[in-house]
Structure 1
């Protein structure tokens, strides 16, 4: 019995070693390829655009604001191009496609990185949510990325490229971030179905999903969350107000739930995963980013719901 378990362990180790070895090969002449990244004003998209630019890659970075585009352009090389894009505006997406088609020519796109996203307003108890709250988050986090995939598919086919979608562990297990979690479950579905369809119709375009654990938020994000929850208390039902008589009772409950989520400040793990999905000859289908994600959340996602909900 011991020998059998030992041999199984050795086999698993060898398979993992061979996999890591194969995935360590990077694409040659990457400097000649074009990578389109959305949501580059700040955060992961901004860091990724700068890193790829330092590697000499042709980066096409979209920003929501003029200030964001200007600041990014000022600290990067002439190879990086910025465009203003609201991912919820189909006309702007069409205009972007037209400009990029002229720019890349027959080379097409090597990668589309759907990074743009919002946390959305979180009011605590689900009964406080309006249709507009839900559609706002879905349009940015799910519908926009989906439309970008569809619109740029031909350019990606020309470049034998890949689509990289920003998912989340909030799309693998339930999260206190209600609206955000819904949108990320949708992204998981989009990536899986799109990958299946592209293989079926021989598009020669691969799909990859980045699934980070939760990372430390800025003070401004925490303040926005607090204000949202306070606004939500004005909408709660009589039932909820009986349970939480004051605004502070309601707010403290939300913060206690949020406090159960371990946060990481190693945002470089996310950009590293992004870069591997773009540069590797054999990228992974899914990148679980962070030890908590790899060794706790992903295994937990395969547990029966009655067990995983109790642990979470």
Structure 2
């Protein structure tokens, strides 16, 4: 009985291994558009795909970021300035892409641009604090995707959306977890809708990686700013000790974040180049060994873990 089961499981993984190593043909003729290439995952992916010979169209928020990327890549790679929160910027970038891909269409769209701060208890924040993150991480993803879908559909290509492990399991307050849950939902519905046209949609779920988005100083500064702007009642309820404990915990955890961003970009590359990409890619040891299993645990167990692990308000229970 157990032997047959072990054989079946082994055959399943062997078949999956074989399927996932089949690569799409004529990759050097295919265009891939990536958002958020100033630094981090987007920058690494742009350079990685350029080395593979793909025609990379990289968007950056700043001209400085675009210039630095061009200096480190071949002449095939082209850059454009894009602010995913502005409709006119997206429209201009869409026209720019159309002029370059022509009748071939756009093989790959990678929605990578994102921000994280502020990360604080939700009670400390305003609606605008939430909208700042949602505009980039969720609404920007949606508008860029809708603008480029006709080109992706023409190529029967790929949409790769960067979510996070916190898209499955909310770890903290603020708009970041909310935005990534939204990316998961948007990607799932999009994948089912576009399957009729031969378009595949994949979700990347990184764990904790050291990038500009997860910069500890930036997170700590946004936390302090939110605390400074909080009402006297909130400050009394939470207490100075809570604020100090949170900042201390980020300083302890930050050195443990992985610097191997290629673990994430390799997943992105596979989603773009494999004949049979996965629906979801979890990248990083913490995503696979800790956060992902926790997302399947009963809520009361997860709540208990967080209750005893995180700082407590001064006047909490």
Say whether the fold is shared (TM-score over 0.5).
yes
Equivalent residue of 1:112, what SS?
Answer: strand
Contact preservation (8 Å) 1:208, 1:286: yes
Match for residue 290 of structure 2 among 292, 296, 306? 296
Give the Å deviation of 1:263: 2.7
For normalisation by structure 1, the TM-score amounts to 0.91
Q: 1:132 & 1:210 partners in 2: Cα distance? A: 27
Equivalent residue of 1:207, what SS?
Answer: strand
TM-aligned CA distance change 1:144 to 1:44, over 3 Å: same
Contact preservation (8 Å) 2:118, 2:226: no
Q: 1:289 & 1:222 partners in 2: Cα distance? A: 20
**Deviation readout 1:286-307 (Å, 9 max, x if unpaired):** 0011232223322221222111
Contact preservation (8 Å) 1:166, 1:210: yes
In structure 2, the residue matched to 1:53 is 50
Q: 2:85 & 2:46 partners in 1: Cα distance? A: 21
Match for residue 133 of structure 2 among 137, 141, 152? 137
Number of residue pairs matched by the alignment: 305
Q: 1:271 & 1:61 partners in 2: Cα distance? A: 14
Q: Which ranges in structure 1 are unaligned for 5 or more consecutive residues?
A: none
The 5 Å alignment of 1:180-195 reads 180-195=176-191
Q: Which ranges in structure 2 are unaligned for 5 or more consecutive residues?
A: 307-317
Q: 1:51 & 1:83 partners in 2: Cα distance? A: 18
Q: 2:3 & 2:142 partners in 1: Cα distance? A: 45
**In the alignment, is residue 214 of structure 1 matched against residue 208 of structure 2?**
yes
- Of the structure 1 ranges 301-310 and 35-44, higher mean CA displacement relative to structure 2 is found in 301-310
- Of the structure 1 ranges 73-82 and 220-229, higher mean CA displacement relative to structure 2 is found in 220-229
Q: 1:17 & 1:28 partners in 2: Cα distance? A: 22
Give the Å deviation of 1:244: 4.4
Match for residue 148 of structure 2 among 152, 157, 172? 152
The Cα RMSD (Å) is: 2.1
Match for residue 308 of structure 1 among 302, 309, 314? 302
**Deviation readout 1:199-256 (Å, 9 max, x if unpaired):** 3xx222111000011113569921122222212222335554335443x641323443
TM-aligned CA distance change 1:195 to 1:219, over 3 Å: closer
The 5 Å alignment of 1:143-292 reads 143-176=139-172, 178-199=174-195, 202-216=196-210, 221-238=215-232, 240-246=234-240, 249-256=242-249, 259=252, 263-292=257-286
For normalisation by structure 2, the TM-score amounts to 0.90
In structure 1, the residue matched to 2:124 is 128
Equivalent residue of 2:289, what SS?
Answer: helix
Q: 2:108 & 2:211 partners in 1: Cα distance? A: 28
Q: 2:121 & 2:259 partners in 1: Cα distance? A: 28
**Deviation readout 1:244-288 (Å, 9 max, x if unpaired):** 443x64132344378569632221100111111111111101001
Contact preservation (8 Å) 1:38, 1:63: yes
**In the alignment, is residue 112 of structure 1 matched against residue 106 of structure 2?**
no
Equivalent residue of 2:205, what SS?
Answer: strand
Q: 2:250 & 2:44 partners in 1: Cα distance? A: 30
Q: 1:164 & 1:129 partners in 2: Cα distance? A: 30
TM-aligned CA distance change 1:257 to 1:225, over 3 Å: closer
Q: 2:100 & 2:204 partners in 1: Cα distance? A: 28
